[in-house]
């Protein structure tokens, strides 16, 4: 096994798959960051770590049950000539859940009573948060495992790539989560990403293949624009205060 692992072709496939797993895990990190943000601050780091470890367990479990995964691709029933498999139903269900969850969160932040939003972190429980993470981990793990099986022929390489990817997420999930929670506009953008991902999952479940490259490019572009806006707002704020001070000084003089 070590000889196979040290071969250049295997190392290239390992690096490629690890990078792909990290990219496919971005939506998972965003979802976990938003859910964990509703918990009391003391419970957030441990819940975030447990959520990511559960994601790894889910991926490895599906990976070691490849035969069951292949059966998920077999059509269970047909509607208007379109076959629906177990995988399709899981993708559609996960997409609908993401649409409902993200829409509800956006509504609460834009239309909800501000006085009721202050204790929101206390209303969420660790058990309820982990339950939602497990539910979406199943959906996100499907794409992760299918990508791994399609790219790499060796099971141990898939396992190593998934462990490395989740390790990367464990290191940076806290930073991403804290950044999202500190900036309200970034939180709305993250929720919009979840709506976009939900639509993508539903489309895939309905048999419409959409390239994830376009979706990730749109997400990266939107994130870049928002980061520029944040920097611009930070630069303008001192200028505005300075000009206001000058006006008061001239009026007093």
Q: What is the pLDDT of residues 83-141, one digit of tens each?
A: 888 888 888 888 888 888 888 888 877 776 555 544 444 456 888 888 888 887 777 77
Task: Please determine, for residue 34, whether its predicted confidence score (pLDDT) is greater than 70.
Answer: yes
206 in the same domain as 216: no
pLDDT value of residue 88:
85
232 in the same domain as 168: no
235 in the same domain as 217: yes
Q: Is 81 left (phi over 0), alpha (psi -120 to 50) or beta?
A: left
128 in the same domain as 57: yes
117 in the same domain as 241: no
Q: Which domain holds residue 111?
A: 2-210
128 in the same domain as 11: yes
Task: Please determine, for residue 225, whether its predicted confidence score (pLDDT) is greater than 50.
Answer: yes
This prediction has a pTM of: 0.68
253 in the same domain as 150: no
90 in the same domain as 122: yes
Please state the domain count of the chain: 2
136 in the same domain as 45: yes
Q: What is the pLDDT of residues 202-224, one digit of tens each?
A: 888 888 877 777 777 887 888 88
How far apart CA 216 and CA 193 sit, in angstroms, is 9
pLDDT value of residue 241:
47
25 in the same domain as 99: yes
pLDDT value of residue 177:
77
250 in the same domain as 134: no
């Amino acid at each position: 096994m070590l000889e196979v692992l040290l071969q250049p072709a295997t190392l290239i496939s390992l690096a490629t798959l690890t990078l792909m797993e990290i990219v496919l895990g971005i939506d998972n990190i965003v979802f976990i960051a938003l859910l964990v943000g509703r918990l009391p601050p003391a419970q957030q780091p441990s819940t975030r770590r447990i959520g990511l470890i559960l994601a790894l367990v889910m991926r490895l479990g599906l990976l070691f049950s490849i035969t069951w995964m292949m059966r998920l691709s077999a059509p269970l029933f047909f509607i208007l000539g379109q076959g629906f498999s177990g995988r399709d139903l899981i993708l559609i269900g996960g997409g609908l859940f993401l649409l409902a969850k993200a829409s509800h969160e956006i509504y609460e932040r834009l239309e909800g009573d501000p006085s009721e939003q202050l204790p929101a972190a206390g209303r969420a429980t660790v058990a309820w948060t982990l339950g939602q993470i497990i539910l979406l981990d199943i959906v996100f793990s499907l794409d992760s495992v299918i990508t791994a099986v399609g790219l790499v022929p060796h099971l141990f390489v898939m396992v190593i790539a998934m462990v490395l990817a989740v390790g990367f997420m464990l290191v940076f999930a806290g930073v991403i989560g804290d950044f999202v929670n500190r900036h309200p506009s970034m939180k709305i953008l993250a929720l919009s990403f979840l709506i976009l991902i939900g639509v993508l999952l539903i489309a895939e479940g309905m048999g419409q293949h959409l390239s994830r490259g376009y979706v990730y490019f749109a997400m990266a572009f939107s994130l870049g624009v928002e980061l520029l806006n944040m920097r611009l707002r930070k630069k303008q704020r001192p200028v505005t205060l300075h000009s206001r001070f000058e006006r008061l000084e001239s009026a007093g003089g």
